[in-house]
Each structure stands twice: as structure tokens, then as C-alpha cells.
Amino acid sequence: MRILAIETSCDETAVTIVDAEGDRRSARFRVLGNALLSQIDLHRDYGGVFPMLAKREHAKNLVPLLTAALEEAELLRESAQSLPQETHDAIAALLEREPGLDAAFLEFIQTTDAPVIDAIAVTAGPGLEPALWVGINFAKALARAWMKPLLAINHMEGHVLAALAEEDGEELVIRNVELPLLALLISGGHTELVAMHEWLSYKLVGQTKDDAVGEAYDKVARMMNLPYPGGPEISKLSEILRETDPDPVSGNLETPFTLPRPLLHDQTCDFSFSGLKTAVLYTLKKRAELTDDERVQMAYEFENAVAEVLWKKTSRALTDTLAKTLVIGGGVSANTHIRRVFTDKVSKEHPDVALRIPPARLTTDNAIMIALAGFYRLLRDERAPADLAAHGTQRLA
Ligand code: KG4
Ligand code: ZN
């Protein structure tokens, strides 16, 4: 089955075409074409993602990225198409709120053959609603023009499936997934533990009561005058000190800073990161400018606190859910120290649990993960409703 997938939930615009075969027990995916444009450089000046700018950039870039992905997949054939007036008007109506996209789309669709694909998958939520809408309207217009089924995908399910995908030469495979599965989803907008007792059906086990962990990284980075996104910047600093650390997992080196481990000892699997962020703020307020060494030490202590809390809660949830598979997904799962701690602790404290971490290129937002989810949803014959809408706060469970 060939799936064209579109992702525009945040600040990455991505279009991919994936060829998938197999079933829910064992599936193989070949990425035929993949085009992705990150807007990070544009949002950096705002210190975070600015939704209306994200929307405008998605609208500008979707047609060029679709063209590039089809070309890479060798599915781009130029030829004049006669579009029935009724279809033309329906597409114009769908895209009327996306300035610039309507004209580019109609031009593209009237000069290009419909590619041989089986379905179109699009992220419907969670994310920034103005950004999600662009992708949804674009996908609806494509589905209408090419008469293909449309699939609505939950972005977080994409992160879970990306983490289950293993690289096998040029292909991705998802197989031998033992349930129950526990997923720790950590990104700029989410921090949650979700259990999957049955394939693709989810139950919430724990979540943050305030900030997401990626948000804490980004805010703390900003307090330390580091650029957006803060995760990779803090990680880079912290790793400088950890290189000299005889026990990098525990992080016992002396520093002038001690940060709290919020909710570490409560009996739930919930998280809280706003206290940690505030503790950094107060510490910084009490001091003059940090020296270079102190910045490294602060980043190191911050990552010690984050990883300790994430692990403790995940370990508790593994015990509670009897999970056989642990997945970590979302942008923050790219983090070197979190990966280090989880790899070490799972093998020592939960040796029967299989830990699955996404391949590096699939950790941050992309359309391949949306195509993976699209494949499983298509296997179930699911279709997006005709009135599919963006759901900024859509949940997995
Ligand atoms: O999943 P994602 O790409 O977008 C959302 O859906 O939010 O996650 C973005 C978040 C940002 O907060 C960013 O700072 C964080 O992931 N991030 C990292 C790393 N790479 C990205 N956090 C810690 N360490 C990293 N290496
Ligand atoms: Zn994401």
C-alpha cells in the first residue's frame, strides 16, 4: 500500500510517500520520497513557535514539498489535466483561508498526473490549530482532486509508531511488538505515560500537571540566554561535564546547584516541571552572570533532575502496567542523557522489558511517522470524516 502523508502540527512542514506491506504483526516500510522543511530559524527570534507565522510558512511550502517528495519517489508526471468545474470550486472553497496556497495548489493539480497512491494521511491533532488546519485543508483538497481516501492521524500515535520502527537496511520494520506496551511521550507540548494493552488502543497512566518537559528545556534555555529550541543546547552543555563523570548515569559530580525533583516520591505516575523551571529562575536571580563553568554545571544538574524524575515515574508505570515493551517518543527522546539513563536503568531494573527508542531522524516531527500510523489505520478501513477538523488538544487516551 502506498501512503502519502502530511505533517504540519508545529514548525516542521513535511510530506512523505511510503510504500508499506505486511500486517499488524509484521510490517515493512520503504520511504519512496520524503521532503521536510524546518521553520526553526524563522521562529528563533520569537523564542518559540509563533502560530500565525507557522501557518503562513506551511501554506507557502506545501506545494513545493509535495512536488519534491513525488519527484524523489519518481511519481511526478507533468501533463495538463482538465479539472471539472465542480471540483475546481470545491478545492477553491477548501483553500480559501490559506492565502497563496489556493493558487499554487490549483496550478499544480492542473499540470500534474494523479500519482499511484492508495491513501492520504494527515495530522489532525494535537498541535497548533492554525498550523494543523493548513495541512488538513491541503490534504482534503488532494483527496478530492485525486479521489483518494483520507485518514486522520493523531500526532502522538505517530511518535509511538516511529519509536517502534527499526531500521533494516533502507527499510523500516515494525514487528515483534509485545503488549502491553508503555509509551513515555516527551515533547514541546506533551509529557505523558500511555499504556497500550491492545494494539492502537490507549490508556492514560500519568501526565504533567503543568509544563511539558520540552517546554521546561526551552524556558530554562531562554533564562540562560541560549537559543530556541533549548533542548539540544542544554544537552550540549551538560554533556561537556558528563564526559569527565565516572558515573554519567547517576550524575554525582559536585556542583554549586541543587535543583528539586518535583513529585519524585508521590504515589502517582504524574509529573510536574514548573517548579523545576522556577527553581532555576530563582537560582539565576540570586547570582550575577553565570561563568561558562557554571552554565555547564547548571545544565548538568537540570538534566540530572529531569532524567531522574522521568525514569522514576516510568519505572513505577512499568510495574503498574506489567508492560513488556517500553517506548520513548517525541522530540525530547532525542536527548543523549535521557537515552543513556533509560538504556542503563531498563537493563538493570526491568531486564525483561524491551526498550524501543526511535531512530534519530524519526525523533523530531516528520511525516514518515504519520505515514506509519496511516498504514495501520488503513488496514482497519478507517476514514476521516468529511467534516474533519483540527483538534489542537486531541488526546491519545
Ligand atoms: O516532538 P517535537 O519535535 O515537537 C512537538 O511536538 O513539541 O519536540 C520539540 C521539543 C522542543 O521542546 C525541543 O527543545 C525538544 O523537543 N528537543 C530536545 C532535544 N531535541 C529536541 N530536548 C532535549 N534534548 C534534545 N536533544
Ligand atoms: Zn511531535
What is the reported pLDDT for 202? 98
Output the tens digit of pLDDT for each of the chain's 397 residues: 999 999 999 999 999 999 999 999 999 999 999 999 999 999 888 888 889 999 999 999 999 999 999 999 999 999 999 899 999 999 999 999 898 899 999 999 999 999 999 999 999 999 999 999 999 999 999 999 999 999 999 999 999 999 999 999 999 999 999 999 999 999 999 999 999 999 999 999 999 999 999 999 999 999 999 999 999 999 999 999 999 999 999 999 999 999 999 999 999 999 999 999 999 999 999 988 899 999 999 999 999 999 999 999 999 999 999 999 999 999 999 999 999 999 999 999 999 999 999 988 899 999 999 999 999 999 999 999 999 999 999 999 9
**Residue 213 near residue 191, CB atoms below 8 Å:** yes
- Around Cβ 266, how many Cβ atoms within 10 Å? 11
What is the reported pLDDT for 38? 95
Q: Which ligand is nearest to the CA of 11?
A: 1
Which atom belonging to ligand 1 lies closest to the Cα atom of 212?
A: 12
Using one digit for the tens of pLDDT, what is the confidence trace for 311-357? Answer: 999 999 999 999 999 999 999 999 999 999 999 999 999 999 999 99
Q: Mutation test of ligand 1: which of 217, 233, 337 has the most ligand atoms closer than 8 Å to its C-beta?
A: 217
What is the reported pLDDT for 48? 84
Using one digit for the tens of pLDDT, what is the confidence trace for 9-48? Answer: 999 999 999 999 999 999 999 999 999 999 999 988 888 8
- Report the DSSP pairing between strands 2-7 and 181-186: unpaired
Question: In what helix (H) or strand (E) does residue 31 lie, and over which residues does it extend?
Answer: strand 26-38
CA-nearest of 122, 119, 123, 121 to 146 is 119
**Residue 325 near residue 181, CB atoms below 8 Å:** yes
- Report the DSSP pairing between strands 166-168 and 2-7: unpaired
170 C-alpha vs ligand 1 centroid, how far in Å? 26
The C-alpha atoms of residue 175 and residue 164 are separated, in whole angstroms, by 8
Q: Give the list of residues 6+ apart from residue 374 with CB closer than 8 angstroms, or none.
A: 3, 5, 119, 120, 121, 151, 153
187 C-alpha vs ligand 2 centroid, how far in Å? 6
**Residue 324 near residue 181, CB atoms below 8 Å:** yes
- Report the DSSP pairing between strands 2-7 and 119-125: parallel
Domains of the chain, earliest start first: 2-160+363-379 (3.30.420.40), 178-357 (3.30.420.40)
Residue 201 has what DSSP assignment?
A: E
Which atom belonging to ligand 1 lies closest to the Cα atom of 9?
A: 6
**Residue 139 near residue 14, CB atoms below 8 Å:** no
Q: Which ligand is nearest to the CA of 190?
A: 1
Say what the pTM is.
0.96
Strands of 26-38's sheet in order across: 150-154, 119-125, 2-7, 12-22, 26-38, 171-175, 166-168
**Residue 3 near residue 18, CB atoms below 8 Å:** yes
CA-nearest of 229, 337, 150 to 220 is 229
Note the helical H segments in 147-180: 155-164
Look up residue 183 and give its three cell numbers.
509509551
Question: In what helix (H) or strand (E) does residue 310 lie, and over which residues does it extend?
Answer: helix 292-321
Cα of first residue to Cα of last residue in the chain, in angstroms, is 28
Whose cell is 550540549? That residue is 236
Ligand 1 cavity residues, CB under 6 Å: 10, 187-189, 214, 217-218, 229-232, 235, 330-332, 334-335, 364-365
What is the reported pLDDT for 288? 81
Residue 360 has what DSSP assignment?
A: G
